[in-house]
Structure 1
């Protein structure tokens, strides 16, 4: 019930020594106010030194981690953002807060030392140690020395631990020693307020003078303290920390900006992918419609042509029948290529014949502004612009005057699926030349003016054979290597003569 009410997760208990907790919330602080923090300790990082301002959240961070470990070992779900991974700790040692006692004649420092004495006597490799303000209550020099010595002791014991401290020597210690990292409680130095956010990897300033100003210590006292601080030449460490914190903030801003840009890019990629799929479907639908229309036109034309040829080949053909056949042939021509007087452009109109910049010839079927659609000789729709086409006379392949008995096979073969390029990569020379010969015959039947032969670069044998064959072809007008977007020397552009 507690886990459901507080959005908790059951942690995973493992044998290897580890603490991996994401966004842990102190269970006794209002969940609408508490600031979650993450903790990670393993064999490579056994000790964390937390620094930062007073009242900045260091003590709460230590208590939060201790409570997370204890709750897990009592089978209580943890208030985290996801499932944590933890090992079992036989003992958890903590020296947190002011333990001075008048009855036992113990000062703050003495109470801390008494706790440290117990910890150092009993601690083992498998334990967790939490020490708050280690070394305070005595002279700074001696306190720093004790703090560093205790840290060395805990490292030698190989236990896990988190220590909070204001000592500069401890911050330096974390940089020098293996298996130790610095961490800081982030402080908003513009608003002069703590954020209670734990950042691992950087030490934090204590912000003593800033906190004194926040709590209204007399300005004269603060200014005097600044003068003493400058005279003691201890300001340089704080300056370095300020620069590090500035770099950290800049990096965080950059990371945040990169995340936003990445999110936008992912969103645009999804939109583009969706639009591409929609366009592909439309393209498939249009091509299907065009193919159906093309097949129906060819089928109807074939039927009428065969009828006319049967009449013409009849040995008992009469003059009236021949005239009727010619009239029917003329009507078929009009039906296939009927005129359209609608003018869209001063020079190019619908049903005009044009040649594109890549050598394809066809009939204009649509004009919208500068954009036009051209149906090529093989019935494919090509979209281009007016400035990329040239008006030409009707190509011979479009003239029904060529319909004769001896070209009926040509009319039938024009329905074959012959493209504007032939890929010979992977073919042996003999097989490649045989395919090339057949392909060029089909291309001529379809009245292609330009085709592309893809032979690759390889050893150059296939490319040489292709060029030698083209030299012998009387119907080849010219040939040359492909351009930058046409395959370069791995392809050859062949221009065919008009029949």
Structure 2
């Protein structure tokens, strides 16, 4: 059964394609032995081994496998004491070298952390027979000649041979150069007959040189004479060559004995390298077909996406989508002749056999194949002249055999089921056969011409209609497989396109019963809706692609904007730091001058200190700040009664302070930094009044800590404003008796966090700082321990 199915599904032709990628005759033998496997674990293992091969090719491009030879017979002959010739020994050395080289190659992949466990397991059993390889190559050159270095005796013998040859040639060449010699010789050359050096002498001078005649020309005009003067030397030469041959035999026999000692290692290497050759042949074939590793299942489910028949040229094949075994177990394909039904059927069958043979299948990623226990097929004209069977009888004989063996783990393929007999009986028989196979639980795909089977698929659960598409406009099939839509006959449409009279067509339609007309109309409506759905799908797909491209562009531009923003912020921070550093230097100078003034003149005048204080404030960086709109400060005379503690501004001095007490109706004592001075009421501008704090005993205030929060949220603040808030907050927290506080600055660009942490590290009341933990806000919070 398998042999017949292999032939029908062209499994053998596929194997011939696979053979093109082997590198040895052993690999060819392995391909010849290839058959589908039925054990799930075996299929899974060989699929994974093919994947490892494709992985190596993808990452490395190529793999060196040349040099593998079939050395089985040579090794066996060496084991029984036979002597191997030079070429056999070279083949053994070549195989050893190829095995050792591949083992090193795979070990290099492992060192590069490329995961290939199956290949790695293979090469672990390869024993590098370096000594045997070196011994052969030191004795025999690449042309199959035993080298002088093979043994001291051989070197000595060959030196003698060269000396004898030189002597003989020298004597003979002296004859060819003499005047008498040129007259008596047919040609002034030295040649060889019967492995002895001779001269071509004219017939009439054959006795002139003495010696032996070894041969003569076809005309008899020339005889080949070994002159008497070189007979003795030729004898010595021949004896030396005999010794050479004996020494070479001895060397080859010794090498053969050494090879016999490595019988098991050599045969193991050969078996492994045969498997490796086969594995990479599958990998190369997968790359040629642009094939993928299918997902395997035991449930009889097939899902081939964009499946392509491997024997059809890639620039001609039309991919098909096939699903079977999930929502439906039977698929009935209808459509015109030469429309691609049989190709679709063979594609399903051949790809299933390929998957179960450990081969990748020419489909899109995500395709799924099942491991069936039987694959049956009845495809093509199997008429047997010898058995005097008709086409119908031949098909039925095959179908009977299938029905006798089919079970729930089978895939069955029927081509033109029920054809070759009366249409009514053939259709009824086809329906009965499909019902039987379905009841058994097998998965079945059938092609048919019968319109009755279109209705069959609609009336049975677990059965689906399909068709091959036909373009009425071009009168050509598109070879596309349409799942869910039965095929139309298209006879009337084709006839009309070919010019048949419309009257004849209309009359023909009248002979069709109403039920058939309704069926054709329904099919036509389904096709139109399918085409509309496909057009809408393509349009939606294009819109989605454009949206994805637009999103990608926006993300790219957003990333660029963020990078530019970060660069600008970094630049501004650097500039601000330089300004602040300069201001600090100026401030330190001013403070130093103030201290010197106080030391020199304790009775310093107020206006001098005010001038220095003003200079200190002016040393601060003059940076524009975005502030929230605030209500305009009011002057003291604008219905605001000033109270002790109110924050005010002395207009004439452009200085801020707070009211100490009211001296008179028109004058107030104001605290300006370290100075107190009396200021007229009209020169004061009201700014703010602090909220009253409920007076409590000190122990109660510090114990409750209710008026100062343990957290300060700075998110959204500018750096300068944030530092001022932190400074005031730390002072309040210390007065409130808090030992630990949390400053919430957020993550953002990190500029605010960095500034806050730098300020806290220098603050005299802060013991140490750290970022918040996993439950404290992480890097968006800085926790400070207070002294």
TM (norm. structure 2) is 0.41
Q: Which residue of structure 1 lines up, in the alignment, with residue 568 of structure 2?
A: 286
| Cα distance in 1, alignment partners of residues 605 and 493 from structure 2 | 115
CA contact (8 A) 1:54 1:208 kept: no
Instruction: Give yes or no for the alignment of 1:434 onto 2:708.
Output: yes
Q: Which residue of structure 1 lines up, in the alignment, with residue 426 of structure 2?
A: 143
SS of alignment partner, residue 511 of structure 2:
helix
Shift of the 328–120 alpha-carbon distance from structure 1 to 2, 3 Å rule, reads: closer
CA contact (8 A) 1:47 1:181 kept: yes
Shift of the 270–193 alpha-carbon distance from structure 1 to 2, 3 Å rule, reads: same
Aligned ranges 1:264-275 → 2 under 5 Å: 264-275=546-557
SS of alignment partner, residue 434 of structure 1:
coil
Cα drift, residue 62 of structure 1: 0.8
Aligned ranges 1:59-138 → 2 under 5 Å: 59-75=342-358, 77-82=360-365, 85-100=368-383, 106-138=389-421
CA contact (8 A) 1:99 1:111 kept: yes
CA contact (8 A) 1:184 1:204 kept: yes
SS of alignment partner, residue 45 of structure 1:
coil
Q: Which residue of structure 2 lines up, in the alignment, with residue 54 of structure 1?
A: 337
Q: How many residues align?
A: 376
Identify unmatched segments of 5+ residues in structure 1.
338-350, 362-394, 409-429, 448-499
Shift of the 436–126 alpha-carbon distance from structure 1 to 2, 3 Å rule, reads: closer
Cα drift, residue 252 of structure 1: 1.6
Q: Which residue of structure 1 lines up, in the alignment, with residue 120 of structure 2?
A: none
Instruction: Give yes or no for the alignment of 1:184 onto 2:467.
Output: yes
| Cα distance in 1, alignment partners of residues 335 and 652 from structure 2 | 90
1:94-120 Cα shifts (integer Å, max 9, x gaps): 222344566655444444434333322
SS of alignment partner, residue 171 of structure 1:
helix
| Cα distance in 2, alignment partners of residues 289 and 195 from structure 1 | 64
CA contact (8 A) 1:171 1:203 kept: yes
CA contact (8 A) 1:50 1:185 kept: yes
| Cα distance in 2, alignment partners of residues 123 and 445 from structure 1 | 85
Aligned ranges 1:158-307 → 2 under 5 Å: 158-213=441-496, 221-229=504-512, 232-305=514-587, 307=589
Structure (1/2) with the larger helix percentage: 2
Shift of the 444–44 alpha-carbon distance from structure 1 to 2, 3 Å rule, reads: closer
Shift of the 434–62 alpha-carbon distance from structure 1 to 2, 3 Å rule, reads: same
Q: Which residue of structure 2 lines up, in the alignment, with residue 401 of structure 1?
A: 654
1:72-111 Cα shifts (integer Å, max 9, x gaps): 4455554434585434444433222344566655444444
Shift of the 400–9 alpha-carbon distance from structure 1 to 2, 3 Å rule, reads: farther
Shift of the 97–117 alpha-carbon distance from structure 1 to 2, 3 Å rule, reads: same
CA contact (8 A) 1:311 1:321 kept: no
Q: CA RMSD in A?
A: 4.4
CA contact (8 A) 2:583 2:620 kept: no
Cα drift, residue 206 of structure 1: 2.7
Moved more, 53-62 or 154-163: 53-62
Higher Cα radius of gyration: 2
Cα drift, residue 208 of structure 1: 2.5
Cα drift, residue 194 of structure 1: 1.8
1:246-299 Cα shifts (integer Å, max 9, x gaps): 221222222222222222222222222222222222222322333333344344
Shift of the 438–125 alpha-carbon distance from structure 1 to 2, 3 Å rule, reads: closer
CA contact (8 A) 2:392 2:419 kept: yes
TM (norm. structure 1) is 0.61
Shift of the 285–74 alpha-carbon distance from structure 1 to 2, 3 Å rule, reads: closer
| Cα distance in 2, alignment partners of residues 331 and 271 from structure 1 | 51
1:175-219 Cα shifts (integer Å, max 9, x gaps): 333322222212334444321111223323232323445667676
| Cα distance in 1, alignment partners of residues 396 and 547 from structure 2 | 57
1:359 to 613, 629, 635: 629
SS of alignment partner, residue 419 of structure 2:
coil
Instruction: Give yes or no for the alignment of 1:31 onto 2:314.
Output: yes
| Cα distance in 1, alignment partners of residues 366 and 591 from structure 2 | 83
Shift of the 217–94 alpha-carbon distance from structure 1 to 2, 3 Å rule, reads: farther
SS of alignment partner, residue 234 of structure 1:
helix
CA contact (8 A) 1:50 1:183 kept: yes
CA contact (8 A) 1:124 1:157 kept: yes
Shift of the 236–288 alpha-carbon distance from structure 1 to 2, 3 Å rule, reads: same
Cα drift, residue 438 of structure 1: 8.0
CA contact (8 A) 2:409 2:442 kept: yes
Cα drift, residue 238 of structure 1: 1.4
Shift of the 407–158 alpha-carbon distance from structure 1 to 2, 3 Å rule, reads: farther
1:311-367 Cα shifts (integer Å, max 9, x gaps): 457341799996798499569849966xxxxxxxxxxxxx9x9987x5389xxxxxx
Q: Which residue of structure 1 lines up, in the alignment, with residue 62 of structure 2?
A: none
Q: Which residue of structure 1 lines up, in the alignment, with residue 740 of structure 2?
A: none
Shift of the 296–54 alpha-carbon distance from structure 1 to 2, 3 Å rule, reads: same
Identify unmatched segments of 5+ residues in structure 2.
1-20, 22-284, 632-647, 658-670, 675-703, 715-719, 726-787
CA contact (8 A) 1:333 1:400 kept: no
SS of alignment partner, residue 569 of structure 2:
helix
